[in-house]
Structure 1
Amino acid sequence: MDQAGVNRSRLFWLGVLALATAAISASLRAAVASSLKAEWIDPIAPVQAGELIGAALGSAFLGFAITVFVVSALLDKIGAKRVLIGCGVCFLIGTGLIVGAGHLATGMAVYNLVWFGMLLSGIGWGLAEASINPLTARLYPDETTHRLNVLHAWYPGGLIIGGLAGVFLANVLPWQVIMGTVLVPAVGVVVIAATTTFPAPPAEVEGAGFGEMIGEVFRRPSFFVWFGAMFLTASSELAPGQWLDVALTNRVGMRGILLLVYVSALMFVFRHFAGRLANRLSNPGLLWISSLLAGIGLFLLSLAQSPVAAILASTVWGLGVCAMWPTMLASVAERYPRGGAWAIGLVGSAGALASFFVLPLLGGMFDEAKVALAGGPEAFKQLTGAALRQVEDTAASQSFAKLALFPVVLLFVFGGIWLSERRARGATLARGDAA
């Protein structure tokens, strides 16, 4: 990027900080979800508590989806600087509402404030993704897949930081204080974004306008195959990550959030090499292998009954999902370049919407199963101790098993794209040899 005053490395690492802040927030929300549920939601609605906490966690993904959809289209008019400043502000306010809800309201109003705080946190995440993904693609046009995978290595990096904080601070600090640690990197995003020079939009994108970006998408129906695939890849990656601590902690004999930390470490390392692997296999080829491993891993997680089994299952699942999100974004950026930031953002919004719908669905399946296993709502309310844990553990296993169906569908989608593109390349080479 040859624009005066633009520090490409500083901009890239600002994107890393913004994404890591979103990830720290996500992992801490998952880490404190059980404590939040026990303190504030169980006393209000014990039978529906699983669905309610799932809906609250899912609201962050709703905020993400709406924000990415809208802001991606307007990014070049608003400016990435303003968007990233807004990102940090949303995390500041959203986190404040989550940790302060119990002091600001009573009854269901407490839950509503938590829901809205998580929504604002999701908006902050959406503002980050809406700006840093197209910005990275523009900064590094010749190595987009590699750079986006390196950038998104810091999402699991942030999950590791937040997850470890959630585990090791749990015995010494209230969950509200632990959740409040998100405020530190959020302030950093605001300060650095406000003091950094950003590049002007490329002339071809600036001249194309929103109408041209829309035209790129709707003139090529294949885009909607990628849009639908993103819904399924995110359902295989993000939703299970948010549900691990709630669903698996009691059943496998270790904190579920530690499994998320472990998987995030795998993702952090592997994403630094995924771009080069994609160059050897092709993006659809890498995504097909990812889907196969993700499906096997999710099914094994639903069966795990011990720490060793959970770690082995998490390894398979983690290796499967680690390259999905950035490789999907890179595939869209490379295949639909005239779609600009909006095409990338539209696919990102599909991924977030998946979690918004899937997390409450998971919670609902969990609630339905636990009540059925107990013999009815009144019988469930009477359960305590080991009997309650056994019912909830079995219900969690049943809800988790159903997630394995999403990557199975993706095997057919990415397999078809992979074969189609290999045939097209073969036909092109054949014509070249004939000439």
Structure 2
Amino acid sequence: MLSRPDHDFKFVNPRRRSLLAAVAAASVAAGVGASLAEPASGATADCGADDALTWFDTTVAVTAAGGSTVRVINDRSWAIAWSAAARALRTAPRRSREHYSRAALASALHTGLSALTTGQQEALDAALAEALARIPKGRAKSEGVAAGAREARALLADREGDGLDPASISPQIEVPAPAPGIWRPTPPALSRPTTAGIAYARPFALESVEQFRPAGPPPVGSDAYRAELDEVRSLGRLDSPDRTEEQSFIAQFWFTSAVPLLQQSLRRGLERTDDLADRVELVALFYIGQVDSQIAGAETKYHYWHWRPISAVREDPDAPEPGWTPFETTPSHPDYISGTSLYTGVGQALLQALVPQGPGRGFRLTSPDFPATPRSYSGWAALGPEAVSARVLTGIHFRTAGRDALTLGADVVGHAVHLQDDLFG
């Protein structure tokens, strides 16, 4: 969803323009990991491009096994490691570019992920050894290894103290006094707000955390607010007679699965991109967008402090329902904006812009909670609207919280793309 005319996503560097064309059809696999390692059907990728897919799957595995339980910390690991790889690949000499680039990719990701994950050194060492064994010995290989390690160490040092550590992102924060429209702790846990400190972290690309702050939710009592309240009251309640079986499945499909669903979507994009450097920069931009959007999203949440549907329905002055319960448990932070819709907005906008799809280029995604029931999508543009609706159908978000999140995600990642040379050059 490209919401602003100035976000045309044109690459500054002409060498990257191959990303602007759709490439040969990719085989569609369901899931992330070993089953996704199959090469794209009919692909015409360069000799080293598959290295990006292999390292993508490795990064999925090691961050899942040795990363954090907090999403933004894992996304930071992706952003640092893959940005370092992108920088190293841009130093490749014209001669022997392939061997240098493949070695630089392996070295940067090994160095970065070794520092950013726990208990994964053996797996990372094995991945590095396997990757380097496929590259012929020579000066290009050794210089590529040195470049990758150098860029990773430099970026790790630069991001030290960026505010995206566990202690910084979950500070004690004062909650505003209860008032109509203002967030308050929600049942059953009635917990204080979580991860508010993300709003104070240092972005990768944003000039300021409020740079693309959205306009805010509809005012309480307005017609727009009333329409959204009625929608979530009806469709998002635990015992809703109005929510269809398909809608219930969509709500549950997305509820705990945003990370694997978006990783699968990104991998589909990589399969349809035919150059190693393009693939690496696509991953780096994706995760820079994810981190920066979470920083901007946290700033937005704690700027507006908008209450959740469970509070709004139970305390509705016109038609209160003290026993109203959402289909899924409400997270402990404000409604506006929706995190899942924000993450999806980043992924949808980036893939739509850089990996356009022609007719018949659909794909399937699989939720870990429903491995035998994948969902089919006609294109990248189908992701955002479904993610927004899913949060309404769970009863944990108003619709505007999702729609504005898609726009914010697109704005944030569009800004990163415009700064691509500054980020990787």
TM-score by length of 2: 0.33
Q: Larger % of helix: which?
A: 1
Scaled by the length of structure 1, the TM-score of the pair is: 0.32
